[in-house]
Amino acid sequence: MLRLDGVVKKFGDKRAVDAVSLVVPAGQLVGIIGRSGAGKSTLLRMINRLNDPSEGSIRYGDIDITALRGRALREWRARCAMIFQQFNLAGRLDVLTNVMMGRAFHAPLARSLFNIWTDDEKALGLSALEGLEMARLAGQRADTLSGGQQQRVAIARALVQEPELILADEPIASLDPRNTQVVMDALQHINRHLGITVICNLHSLDIARNYCDRLVGLANGRVVFDGVPSQLTDRVARDLYGLESDDVVGPDARPDYTPAEARPGLALAGS
C-alpha cells in the first residue's frame, strides 16, 4: 500500500505539487488526471524519487520512501518501475539491451557494465518482448522504432524489473490512437493478470474513464477529485480542466477531453 501524506514540491516559489495526500491500495489501476502543468508528472516522479519532495512523506508498507538513500533507494526504484511519455530509451542501444536495463539493479555491477547478461536474464527480457509482440525486433536499435514500438520496449523494461508498482507518466501522450490502445491494454493486462499496482497519468479523460478503477484529479498541484470514474460528472471534469477559463488554449494545454454531448462513440475503448 502506497501512502502519500501532505506531499509538497516547490520549484522556486511555485508549488508544483501542493499538500497531496493519497492512499493507493495494492492492485489498483489509478488514473491521475488534470491539465498539463497540474503537477501529475512531478507527483509520479517523486514516488520514484527522480524528484525529491520538499515536504511531506511517501510511505510504501512500512518503508519511508522519502528517507531512502543509496542502495536502498535503488532497490525501491527497482520495485517501482516507471514508464515515460518520451519512452526514455537509450536510442543508440538495441532493444534487448534497453530491456536488460530493467535487470541492472539485480545483476552484479561489473558484469552489467560490460553489457554481459545471463541466459536467464535474456530469456526473461525476450519473453517480456514476446508478450508485447516485439521479440523479433530485439536486435534493432531503439531509435529506429516507431513511438508505439518504443513504448512497448519501455513497458518490457518495466516488466523485467518484476515490479510491485508501475508508474506510467503520460504513456500515450506521444502515440497515435492504435498504439494508444495497445499500450493501455498492456497496462490493464499487467494490472489485472499480474497483480501489479499501476498509477497512470493521463490527460485524456475518455481513456482514463475506460481503463481505470479509480481517478484522482489534480489542479494546481492539489487533489480536487478522488473517486470511481462514474462519480466524475461533466461538471467536475470541466472544473478540472478549467475549460471555462481562457488560458487553456496554450500549445500544450490540448486536453483531449471534449464535452460528453459532443463526444462520438468510444472507438478506442475495446478491451
Partner 1 sequence: MTSPIVQLPQAQLRPLLAAYEATVRSRRWHSVMIAACVVAAIALSSISAEVAPMRLFENIGRFTSYIVRLFYLESGAPVWTDPAEWYWGLPRWLRLLGETLLMAYVGTLLGAAGAFGLCFLAAANVAPSRWLRIAVRRFCELCRTVPGLVFALIFVIAFGLGPMAGVLAVAIHTLGALGKLFAEVVENIDMKPVEGISSTGAAWHVAMRFGALPQTMSNFVSYALLRFEINVRESAVLGFVGAGGIGQDLIEAIRKFYYSDVSAILVLILLTVAVIDMLTARVRHRLIGLGENHR
Partner 2 sequence: MTGRPKIDLAAVRSRHPHHFGRMDRAQITAAAVAAAALALLIYGMGELGFFGGTFLAGLRRLGEILGLMLPPDPGNWAHVRIFVMALLETVAIALLGTLSAAVLAVPLALLAARNVTTARLVRFLSRRSLDTIRSVDILVWALIWINVVGLGPFAGALAIMTSDIGSFGKLFSEAIEAADRRPVEGIVSTGGGRILGVRFGILPEVFPVLASQILYYFESNTRSATIIGIVGAGGIGLHLAEAIRTLELPQVSFIILLILAAVAAIDFVSSQLRFAMIGPRAGTAT
Given the rule CB under 8 A, which residues bind partner 1?
Answer: 48, 50, 74-79, 81-82, 84, 86-93, 97, 101-102, 104-105, 109, 112-113, 115, 141, 143, 154, 157-158, 161
Stretch near partner 2 under the rule CB under 8 A, chosen from 134-142, 144-152, 223-231, 235-243: 134-142
Cα torsion through 41, 44, 47, 50, rounded to 10: -40
69 vs 193, beta carbon nearer partner 2: 193
Residue 104 site contact among partner 2, partner 1, none (CB < 5 to 8 Å, cut-off depends on kind): partner 1
User: Half-sphere exposure of residue 151, counting CA atoms within 13 Å on the CB side?
Assistant: 25
- Footprint on residues 198-227 left by partner 2 (CB under 8 A): none
Of the candidates 20, 24, 23, the one whose C-alpha atom is nearest the C-alpha of residue 10 is 20
* 135 is a contact residue toward partner 2 (CB under 8 A): yes
Count of residues binding partner 2 (CB under 8 A)? 18
In angstroms, what is the C-alpha Rg of the chain?
19
Task: CB nearer to partner 2: give 32 or 199.
Answer: 199
Grid cell of 148 as nine digits: 508505439
Distance between CA atoms of residues 197 and 192, nearest Å: 9
Q: Measured between alpha carbons, how far is residue 246 from residues 38, 171, 243, 253, 254 in Å?
A: 16, 27, 7, 11, 13
Instruction: Give me the residues that bind partner 2 (CB under 8 A), please.
Output: 96, 119-120, 122-124, 126-127, 130, 135, 138-139, 162, 164, 193-196
